[in-house]
Structure formats: C-alpha cells, structure tokens
Amino acid sequence: MRIRFDRGTLVLEAEHDGEQPGDIAGVAWDEERRAWRLPAEHHAAVRQELADAGVVVTDELDGHAAAMTWVVPGLRWYQEVALASWLAAGARGVVALPTGAGKTLVAIAAIAQLGVATLCLVPTRVLLDQWARALAVCTAQPIGRLGDGDHAVAPITVATYASATSWAPRIGGRFGLVIVDEAHHVGAWCPTEVFEMLVAPARLGLSATPPEDMAVLARHVGPVVYALTVEDLRGDGLAEHRLVTVPVVLDPAERRRYRELRGRFAGRYAAFQRAMPDAAWREFVRDSSRTTEGRAALAAWREYRALLAYPDGKRAALREILGRHRGSRALVFTADNATAYAIARELLVMPITHEIRRSERTRALAGFRTGECPVLVSSQVLEEGFDVPDADLAIVVGGTGSPRRFVQRIGRVLRPRDGKCALIYELAVAETTEAAEVARRRRGLGAAAVAQGGVS
Amino acid sequence: MIAMVYEEPARVPRLYDEGDLPWIAQLLDIVEQSVGEPWRVLVERVDHAPLRVHPSHRAAMLQALRRVLGGAGQRARIARRARTLVLGPPALDPVERHARLATAAATLGTTPEDVESLLWIDLAMERPVVLPAGRPAETELAAFANLERIQRCVRRAHDLQLRVWDRATELVRTVARYGLISQIRCDGDATVLDVMGPLALFHATIVYGRALAQLVPLLAEHPRFELDIRCRMSGEEARLHVAPPVWLPPAPASRRAPSAAERLASDLEALGHAVMREPTPIVSGAHLLFPDLVLDRSTGRGTDRSTDRSTDRSTGRGGGRWFIEVLGFATHEYLAAKLDRYRGAGISRVVLCADLATAPGCEFTAQVCGFTRHVEVDDLLATIEHSGPG
C-alpha cells in the first residue's frame, strides 16, 4: 500500500491485489480525487495497523531525521526530569513549568535528543522571533520562520499559530516533532486542525497554565507528563517575589459616572440572569444586541470598563511607582491597547502591541535590556513567553479576573538572578468590580498569594 | 463525499442596497467633518451619531471605509523615527516631557507639537482621517461592506455551494490554488461547485474559511450566481443564501504568479506552437472538465476559442488538437477516471500533466506527462507522440 501526504491528509492507495485502503479505520472517500484519505496525524497509527496486518507499505513520509549539530546549555534538575518524563511517555505530552523556568530550553533539548525535523508553534510574532533566536543560539543551521512576513521553511521551523494553520496542508508531512508553546491555547487560538494536518508522531506541549479540561490537548499533544508551580520553584528555579496591591479610589465625578453606568448595566444583566440562570456571557451579549435597552447596557458595560482601566487614581499611582523605582526595568500591563497607548503618550514610554512592527519591537527590547528604554507597556503581547531576564518590576494597571493571564503576566519578572526579588504591583479600584477580579485572578498563584490580601 | 444537498432553511444575510444610502451619506458627512482628526475620534463620533441603524452596521461601514481609503502604511517611517527619538525612560513631570519632545523636534526640524502629533500616526486608531481621492461614493462603500459581510460569513463556513451560469473557470482555478477540493457538475445550464477542504471529509471544520472567502470577490464578475454557505453563526449551525442583486466592488486584478499551465502555454507559444488558453469547459455526462489549454498541431498557427470536437481529427501520429490539463495532486485511479471522462466527452487526444512531487509513479501511465515544478515542452510533445493518435 502506498501512503502519501496531500493537503493535511494521508492518501492511501492500493499497490497490490487484495489491498483495501477502505477497510482502514477512519478513512473517508474523496470522490473528486478518487482517493481514500485519513487525517495526517493518524500516520503512526495507520503504519502500525498495516504492519500488524503484514501489508507491505511504500511510505513517502518515512524519515524525518535532521542532520544537525546542537549545543544545548546544561539543564537544571527539573528541566532534566521534565525531558526524561516526556521521553518516557513516548515523546508525547505537556510539560507544565512556571514562566521563567526555562521551558524553551527543555524543548531545544528535546529536539536535539530526537534529532528530527521539528515545527515549533507559537502564538505571537514576538514569540516567533524569540524562539528563532533561541534556537539559532544552539545550532548553526538556518531556522525557518513562518509568520510576521517570513515564509521560509527549514528542518527546524518556527511558525505562528495563524501561519501554521495556512501552511500545515503544505508542510505537514515534513516534521517528526511538533512543539506547541503556550499549549493551553490548543483548541481555541491554535485550532486543533493544525495538529490533525501534521504527521509528526512526537509532540511536546509547553505551558505555565495547562487548562483544567485537558481532553482536547491530550488528544492532539498528550497528557501533562510533568508539572511544577511557581511556589515549587520559588527561590530555586524562579526569583523570589513580592506582590503589592495598591488600592485606588475614583474621584467624585468618576465615582458618580461609574455608579450610573454600572447601574444601567447591572439592572439589565440581573434581569437576564433571572430569566436564563445558566446562560453564558456571550449569550447575554447576543441577546442584548437585539434590543435598544440591551445595546445601551452593553455600551454602559464597555464605558465603565474603560473608566476603570485608567482613572486618574491609577494614573497618579503609576507615576508614583515609576518614580519610586526610577532606573528599574519595568513591564506595565494594561487592560487594553487604548490604555497602553494612553500611558505611552503621557509618559513617553514604548508600547508593545500587535501594531508595532518587528524591527521596532526588536529595537525596543534591545533598549529594554540596555536600560535605554527601561519601561515597556502592553496589554497582551508581553503576557506570554516574553523573555526578559533582567525585568524585576511588573505593574498591573488593569486586566481581567483570569488567573491564567495573571500568572503569565507576573511570570515575566520571575526569571532568576542572584539576589533578585521581583516586585509586582497591582493597581485595583476599590469598591468596584475590580476588587472581585483581583481576588479571582490571585487563585492562579495559590493560597499563599490569596492570603497576601486584596482590595475591598 | 460532497454533491451537497442543503436541506435546512436558508437565511439571507443583511446586505446593503438603495435603502441604506441615506444613512451612509450621513456617515460620510461625519467622515468629511473628521478629516485630519485621529480615527478614534471619527469612530467615537459615528458611535454617538443619531444614525438609525444598528451599531454593527456603522462598524461595518467604517471597516469598508478603511478598505476603500487604504493608506495603512503611509507615514509609518516618520512615526517610527519620531518614536525612536522620543520614547525612552518615563517622563514623569511636564518639564521633562516637554524637554524630550523639544530635543526630538530640533533633530527633525519641526515643533514639539508636531512631533507629538507624528508619534502615533501609523497606528490604526491614531492615524488621521484623510480622503486622498475625495469623498467616496455611498454605493462604493456599500459594495465593500457587502463584500466584507459575505466574506465574514464564508470565513465561518464548513463548505459552500456555488452555482454560476457563466465563466466558472477562474472560480475552479481559485479553488485549486487554495488547496480546496471541489466537485463540479452541470445542473441544466448552470455550473455547480461544491467546495470544501480535505479535513472537512472527516468532520465539520471552519479552518478553510479564509481560503473559501477568496472566492467571494470573484462573484462580482457574475451577473447571475447563487451562493449557499453552511457555517457557524453565533455558535449555531446556519445556512446562508446570497444571490444578485448584490452590490460588490469590481473583482481585483489577479496578482498571482503564473501557474504551471500558464508557463507551459508561454513556452509552447515561444516555440511557435498554436495554443488556445483556458478553452471552454467540456461537458462529460454530469461532470465538467476544465482543460488548461489546447495545442493545435494541425495548423501550426493560433487557434480560435472554440472547442469544437470536429477538430479532434488528424491524420498524423500526434497531430490534431490536443487538450492539456495540468494537475496538482493525482492518484492512478484519479488519472484513469479523468481520462475516462474525456473519452466520455468524445475526446481521446488529451494529455494530463501530473506533478511528480504529489503524484509519484503516475508518469508511467499512458497520456500522462510527469513534471517537477515546470512542465517541459519536450516531455509533453514526447508524451503526445507516444499517445497519438488516441
């Protein structure tokens, strides 16, 4: 039987009498091309099935070995255990380590260990660049890039999720290992179809915050094979840190406006919840967009969120903190891009958003390292995977109640350095919905962090 | 697979027409009043304007306006230069801030106020509203908004069915170019394309939505069409139906690189062969065949656009008119079926060019010319000589 790769699927053709591709589990008949197809990720399984049945196979997909020399820095104890656990699980599964613990290094060691062509999937263009540079440090071979204007495929290729989605039908047969960074996005930001279109039998997921429901990730990448938390590595693989919540009060005019908007929204939302107690937020949005009152409630919600994102109290607190820590390298996290730009405009500091191009981002990051540009402000781009060893101050101006996002954000300043104690300031408007959000997102850090207090 | 039957009732998406022109005109008045202001100011004004339409329609029209105006990259270099000069450590007091802007202004030979206005002019919401070609026409804006609305539905599509009455060739080639699979058939005088992606054979997926959406702009060239979209809308399965009259912007000129078939045609013409490109599709039973070109070996001169099969008469080996189809992916069974369909249409002089990268082993089949990246004229002619007179 002949096995070929075509547009993200395997095509199975009989080569000898008696071979019946249609009998293989899960195949579908493509009437137009007159071919039996199977999603590419079933490659290893179908090979096994055919071998068990004694079928001779001509496989166009045999051999993903990449003759490359790697120079991998020494691994810390937990990185070695993580790698060994993954290999013991058949080179499939998720390694869950806190941000700053060196997940990328575990991945590079895995590539060197298997010696096969590898596709690394990352969520953002910033991470694309960062991964390509990290890989280039460990090998002299050119690193392929897909995304942010690049279309170069090599035995070791880094691709953004979006580019991988469009390229997988063409290149899905070329790799023996796929690594997915920030693997908790699999099934949402990173479509599962990408994995279906990849032949790669070896799969490594990396995440600081694996999802509670692992079903999708486990099916396409594997289960969690090794996990440590921030507290497990505090003072060992991660820097010591201190979390400080700064309560902020609205001025009388802001307070009045907040109450008016909140009331307008809450009345409508409460009525909806009474009528549909199990409905999700998106159902409320859909329902509200159909009526004038509903749209007014949604507009009020948006407006009070914008008000809480950067009221005068936060503005003053941010200036005070930056003044107190003049010279420190600080990452400022905001609820949205508008706030990031507002801070950048007021304080003349560099924003890092999806609109800032790679060359400018690279310059900004270099400036951050040298201290020329010691403050970066962002709503989302800096959240995941951003690697700045010397950042020691994080200021969370605004965000959501998501524990996962909070863990990702503060992880940016936890990369270890001798004697380092990272400081994380969290600005929260008292007596508003933000107080509850602070409490909710702290759960991501464990009981110790929750006990450090919040805002009433 | 496919040859899809859409049984669920169809919804017709809200598209813009004459009835919308008054409020679009009002919106354009606001745009004219906002020239020179940042886009965020325009968006805010439109949000609060007393237009009697749902906010989603205002947003759709502003998005269409961005498409019409373009200019995203304008002045980006100036903005980047200004940011390089100005952004750095936090300027925590007004004096420090003004001094930074003044230093940059001196370098750029302008005022601090200008520098401040230049800092963000390349960002979507911060750049100024400009109307380089004057006020756009309401109908033009509506056409772009319609295109965006239909494409947005198609981006969430599992599959779609397209029925056209003319010029199906470009649609068929676009389907192939984007790696989609389609079943093409005749239904009366219409050509019906059932289009999906390979993984859709196994389960519903919207991963091909962006590729499917590339077909929509081409519909502007079809005075008569029916587009049925099976998609997910607001978390629910839905079927949408679109048919003229629909205002759409003119189909964009193709900027793609020449295909293997187009390069082959050029090579043949350069050698003095008479070639007809993209001949009329051929009906074979319920199927349609789309040969890429006809090579006329009887006259040595250019051929007309007719595919009259009476020309499939020749006396010499390899003479007469030869239909050439360049294929991407192929299997032996697919090649055999394709040749059968040509024979079913009374055409025996046909050569299929199979890409050896995706169809290994297929070059050993009669009437099949293997190629890698580029179809060699000599290989094609040799295949014809071996195959003739068919």
Nearest-angstrom CA–CA distance, B259 and B323: 17
Phi-psi region of A327 (alpha: psi -120 to 50; beta: other; left: phi over 0): left
- Candidates A354, A269, A276, A265; CA nearest to A301 is A265
Q: A341–B199: do the CB atoms touch at under 8 Å?
A: no
Q: What is the mean pLDDT of residues A265-272?
A: 93
Q: B54–A170: do the CB atoms touch at under 8 Å?
A: no
On chain A, the residues whose CB falls within 8 A of the CB of B40 are 338
pLDDT at residue A148, rounded to an integer: 86
On chain B, the residues whose CB falls within 8 A of the CB of A372 are 88-89
pLDDT at residue B35, rounded to an integer: 93
Find the range with the poorest average confidence among A320-334, A361-375, B311-325: B311-325
Burial class of A57 by CB neighbour count within 10 A (0 to 12, 13 to 18, 19+)? middle
> In sequence order, what DSSP letters do the residues of A285-346 get, joined into one string?
HHHHTTSHHHHHHHHHHHHHHHHHHS-HHHHHHHHHHHHHTTTS-EEEE-SSHHHHHHHHHH
Count A/B contacts: CB-CB distance under 8 Å.
Answer: 135
Q: A7–B1: do the CB atoms touch at under 8 Å?
A: no
- Candidates A158, A153, A159, A118; CA nearest to A134 is A158
Pick among A7, A190, A282 to test the B interface (most B CBs inside 10 A): A7
The tokens describing A161, both together, are 């999720």
Average pLDDT score over chain A: 89
Among partner residues A8, A289, A350, which is closest to B199 by beta-carbon distance? A8
The answer to whether residue A258 scores a pLDDT higher than 80 is yes
Per residue in A100-144, pLDDT tens?
888 999 999 999 999 999 999 999 888 898 899 999 999 999 999
On chain A, the residues whose CB falls within 8 A of the CB of B332 are 13
pLDDT at residue B359, rounded to an integer: 66
Q: What angle do CA B211, B215, B219 make, to 5 degrees?
A: 165
Q: Give the confidence band of A442 by pLDDT, cuts at 50, 70, 90.
A: confident
pLDDT at residue B317, rounded to an integer: 58
Q: A8–B91: do the CB atoms touch at under 8 Å?
A: no
pLDDT at residue A126, rounded to an integer: 81
The answer to whether residue A9 scores a pLDDT higher than 90 is yes
* Distance from the A194 Cα atom to the nearest Cα atom in chain B, whole angstroms: 9
Nearest-angstrom CA–CA distance, B124 and A389: 32
Q: Pick the residue with more confidence: A223 or B1?
A: A223
In this structure, the strands spanning A177-180 and A118-122 are parallel
Q: B2–A31: do the CB atoms touch at under 8 Å?
A: yes
Nearest-angstrom CA–CA distance, B151 and B248: 11
Among partner residues A7, A13, A364, which is closest to B331 by beta-carbon distance? A13
Strand partners, B233: B236
On chain A, the residues whose CB falls within 8 A of the CB of B197 are 7-8, 169
Complex-level ipTM beyond the 0.85 threshold: no
pLDDT at residue A444, rounded to an integer: 63
Task: Give the rounded percent of residues in chain A with a pLDDT score beyond 90.
Answer: 62
Three-state SS letters, B211-228: HHHCCHHHHHHCCCEEEE
Per residue in A162-184, pLDDT tens?
999 999 999 999 999 999 999 99
Residue reference for tokens 């192929």: B330
On chain A, the residues whose CB falls within 8 A of the CB of B83 are 350, 360
Pick among A1, A5, A24, A33 to test the B interface (most B CBs inside 10 A): A33
The answer to whether residue A452 scores a pLDDT higher than 80 is no
* Distance from the B207 Cα atom to the nearest Cα atom in chain A, whole angstroms: 7
Cα dist. A304→A233, A431, B64 in Å?
38, 13, 29
Q: What is the mean pLDDT of residues A174-197?
A: 95
Q: A165–B330: do the CB atoms touch at under 8 Å?
A: no
* Distance from the A431 Cα atom to the nearest Cα atom in chain B, whole angstroms: 28
Low-confidence ranges of chain B (pLDDT < 50): 1-2, 301-315, 390
The answer to whether residue A370 scores a pLDDT higher than 60 is yes
- Candidates A346, A354, A357, A413; CA nearest to A380 is A354
* Distance from the A72 Cα atom to the nearest Cα atom in chain B, whole angstroms: 35
- Candidates B75, B62, B71, B76; CA nearest to B133 is B71
pLDDT at residue B308, rounded to an integer: 42
Residues 6+ apart with CB under 8 A from B255: none
The answer to whether residue A446 scores a pLDDT higher than 70 is no
Q: B123–A193: do the CB atoms touch at under 8 Å?
A: no
Q: What angle do CA A15, A21, A22 make, to 5 degrees?
A: 145
Q: What angle do CA A228, A229, A235 make, to 5 degrees?
A: 100
